[in-house]
A and B are shown apart, each in its own frame.
Chain A
Amino acid sequence: MLDVTLTHLATLGSSAAASTAPIQTGSAVASTMHVVAATGVAVVPTVFEGAANTVAVIVLLLEFMMLRTALFRAQIRLYAFQSLAVSVLAVVVAAGRDIPELYVLAVVSLLLKVIIVPRVMLRFLRDSRAEIAGSGALGVASEIILALVVAGFGFFTVGALGIQSPVLPTAALGLSFAVVLVSFVLMIVRRDVVSQAVGFFSLENGVSLASLVVAAGLPLILEVAFLFDLLVAVVVFGVLIRVHQTRSSSLSTVSLNRLRG
């Protein structure tokens, strides 16, 4: 009696692993990423893929948290965390796929995006008395549902393209597109300059996530050039924030409703 139940359970429990194991060992890992076995179960990702995807999901979740945050400082802190997650992903890829120059990239992006950019942004905000961003164009729950729809769109359009990467699982590419799209939502629905700037910077995080997936072997000099592009954007946004603040003595963009020649 017990034996019967035990074997039944064994077939049940390991059906995900056992039924698809031959496929996974039979061909390269990258090409099985999209294979869905006849039973309808997605192939179980390896530990490396699982970890990489989890970090990518964390990047996306932090992007969603930015939609919710009301404090300027908290938003900038979230951006720092998100950049940290991207750097961690670079380290994971470097270790898992043995691409040493990604370590350098991780360090540079850590210095720039986790430390320097947030510090500069916080300094720009030091003079401002406002601490709380006004409400966005929508309620938080509706914003999240909207962003979720947009993210799902990004997910599945990228999934339909069928881009394969030798370095990272394809899901991470879909996730990076979702990050980009959600950061657009953030920039559109929020009505304060800081959220819009942070949305722009986090868009860059999404793009660097995508570049990790598609072109991890990109020459380092190019990657670093992108990072310094970001620095230029920070300076431009900083100046804009300053100008806006001195003119309208607030950080809200609600007053910007007239076009001037």
Chain B
Amino acid sequence: MTATLPLPATQALQVLTIAIGAPGISGVIARVEARLQGRVGPRILQPYYDLAKLFRKEALAPAGVGPFFLLAPIFSLACYLTVPMLIPVLTSYPLPLGYMGDILGGGFILALASFVVAVAAAETGNPYAQLASSRAKTFGAITEPVVLLVVFSVALVTTTDLPYALSATVLSGPDQIVRPAHLLASAALFMVILFETGRIPIETHTGTIEFGMIEEGRSFEHSGPHLALLRWGSAAKQMVLYTILINVFIAPWGLSSTTRVDQIAFAIFAFLGKCAVLGCVVAVIDDSFAKLRLLKITEFVAAAFLLAVLGVFTLYLGGG
């Protein structure tokens, strides 16, 4: 008889896995990207050192900002760490709080977090931070329909929009995987994730060119622990989105189906491995494409929209 883990502990473990693993995944991506460019690149653990360094520094705020500016990083990180309770991170069965919200609910929480960061950036007088937050909201508005259509196709496939249900449906057999609706929705979601995490066709992730910045530009006026929280939050957001893509859409294998400790431990490693593989794919994309000009982003989003709409169409025709 092996030891079992109580369900609330597993749920807490899901959040902890994301919170602690997220900077590591960013580190893996940065490392792989550098290796592909022929550079040695930073250590995989570098993001953790960066966070530790930033936490030790003093926090400065521009004159005239309110408490909102200082609370926004904490609030956004809290939002990003709420979502792992709703999605299958380690287990294939729903945990007690798993039915608190569906995919749309998770999407709302993610959107709320990015809204709070954008408002905090707009509160400063920095033109680049304001430019970035206005861009983030503008382009966010045009990616929203894509996300909705992806959710629609999930809803048409499973008659619910619970992430656990789709994950179980994908696990049920190959006929659920090769159907075009599923492939199209997954591809559209992947494009949305590239957009949301600020990867290459949209923006350079570590760039210093203010004119092209969307996600990165918003944190210009934050410093010290607040900047650390924002960085950590964007890493956590990236990993949450990867989790949704991997464990709900593409590869829900390796999830624990029982409460046994050894299975859950295996699930943690399998999950981190899958995220690292997806990170490598993202790094390859980062290195093989050029950044789109700002006005061309609508074309990128139009392509994602096309995929999502075709997915819903094929479902309605009965062949999806």
- B93 interface residue per 8 A CB criterion: yes
What string of 1s and 0s marks CB contacts (under 8 Å) between A175-192 and chain B?
100000000000000000
Check B159–A57 contact: CB distance below 8 A: no
Check A17–B318 contact: CB distance below 8 A: no
In the complex, what residue of chain B is closest to A158 when comparing beta carbons? B317
Check B169–A17 contact: CB distance below 8 A: yes
Check A141–B298 contact: CB distance below 8 A: yes
Given A13-B171, A16-B158, is A171 in contact with B302 using a C-beta cutoff of 8 Å? Answer: no
Check B309–A148 contact: CB distance below 8 A: yes
Check A57–B318 contact: CB distance below 8 A: no
A35 contacts which chain B residues (CB < 8 A)? 318
A91 to chain B, nearest CB (A): 16
In the complex, what residue of chain A is closest to B312 when comparing beta carbons? A152
Within 8 A of B (CB), among A97-155: 140-141, 144-145, 148, 151-152, 155
Check B320–A39 contact: CB distance below 8 A: no
Check A140–B94 contact: CB distance below 8 A: no
Question: What separation, in Å, do the CA atoms of A5 and B98 have in the docked complex?
Answer: 11
- A46 interface residue per 8 A CB criterion: yes
Question: What separation, in Å, do the CA atoms of A5 and B99 have in the docked complex?
Answer: 11
B176 contacts which chain A residues (CB < 8 A)? 16-17, 44
Contacts across chains A and B counted by CB atoms under 8 Å: 148
A85 to chain B, nearest CB (A): 13
Check B179–A2 contact: CB distance below 8 A: no
- A86 interface residue per 8 A CB criterion: no
Question: What separation, in Å, do the CA atoms of A226 and B147 have in the docked complex?
Answer: 42
Given A16-B157, A54-B178, is A64 in contact with B317 using a C-beta cutoff of 8 Å? Answer: no
Check B316–A159 contact: CB distance below 8 A: yes
| Interface window among B160-168, B222-230, B231-239 | B160-168
- A217 interface residue per 8 A CB criterion: no
- B294 interface residue per 8 A CB criterion: no
What string of 1s and 0s marks CB contacts (under 8 Å) between A48-69 and chain B?
0111011011001100100010
Check B318–A144 contact: CB distance below 8 A: no
Q: Which of B94, B183, B320 has the most CB of A within 10 A?
A: B320
Check A46–B165 contact: CB distance below 8 A: no
- A42 interface residue per 8 A CB criterion: yes
- A25 interface residue per 8 A CB criterion: no
- B319 interface residue per 8 A CB criterion: yes
A95 to chain B, nearest CB (A): 15
Interface residues on A, range: 35 or more
Check A15–B180 contact: CB distance below 8 A: no
Given A140-B302, A144-B302, is A169 in contact with B319 using a C-beta cutoff of 8 Å? Answer: yes
- B52 interface residue per 8 A CB criterion: no
- A41 interface residue per 8 A CB criterion: yes
Question: What separation, in Å, do the CA atoms of A80 and B98 have in the docked complex?
Answer: 47
Say which residue of B94, B179, B315 sits within 8 Å of A9 (CB atoms).
B94
In the complex, what residue of chain B is closest to A143 when comparing beta carbons? B302
B182 to chain A, nearest CB (A): 8
B164 to chain A, nearest CB (A): 6
B171 contacts which chain A residues (CB < 8 A)? 13
Within 8 A of A (CB), among B122-178: 156-160, 162, 164-165, 167-169, 171-178
B184 contacts which chain A residues (CB < 8 A)? 57
A174 to chain B, nearest CB (A): 5
Check A12–B318 contact: CB distance below 8 A: no
Check A141–B320 contact: CB distance below 8 A: no
Check B156–A42 contact: CB distance below 8 A: yes
Say which residue of B172, B302, B319 sits within 8 Å of A53 (CB atoms).
B319
A140 to chain B, nearest CB (A): 5
A101 to chain B, nearest CB (A): 25
A42 contacts which chain B residues (CB < 8 A)? 156, 315-316, 318, 320
In the complex, what residue of chain A is closest to B314 when comparing beta carbons? A171
- B259 interface residue per 8 A CB criterion: yes
Say which residue of B158, B175, B177 sits within 8 Å of A13 (CB atoms).
B158
In the complex, what residue of chain B is closest to A64 when comparing beta carbons? B306
A102 to chain B, nearest CB (A): 20
Given A9-B168, A42-B320, A54-B183, is A47 in contact with B178 using a C-beta cutoff of 8 Å? Answer: yes
- A257 interface residue per 8 A CB criterion: no
Question: What separation, in Å, do the CA atoms of A32 and B307 have in the docked complex?
Answer: 25
A40 contacts which chain B residues (CB < 8 A)? 156, 159
Given A5-B93, A64-B306, A172-B319, is A47 in contact with B174 using a C-beta cutoff of 8 Å? Answer: yes
Q: Which residues of A contact B (CB under 8 A)?
A: 1-2, 5-6, 8-10, 12-17, 33-36, 39-47, 49-51, 53-54, 56-57, 60-61, 64, 68, 140-141, 144-145, 148, 151-152, 155-156, 159, 169-172, 174-175
The contact sample of 27 A-B pairs, CB cut-off 8 A, is A2-B7, A6-B93, A14-B172, A15-B165, A16-B176, A17-B176, A33-B319, A41-B156, A42-B315, A42-B320, A44-B179, A50-B178, A53-B180, A56-B180, A68-B299, A68-B303, A140-B299, A140-B302, A141-B298, A141-B301, A141-B302, A144-B299, A151-B313, A170-B317, A171-B317, A171-B319, A175-B314
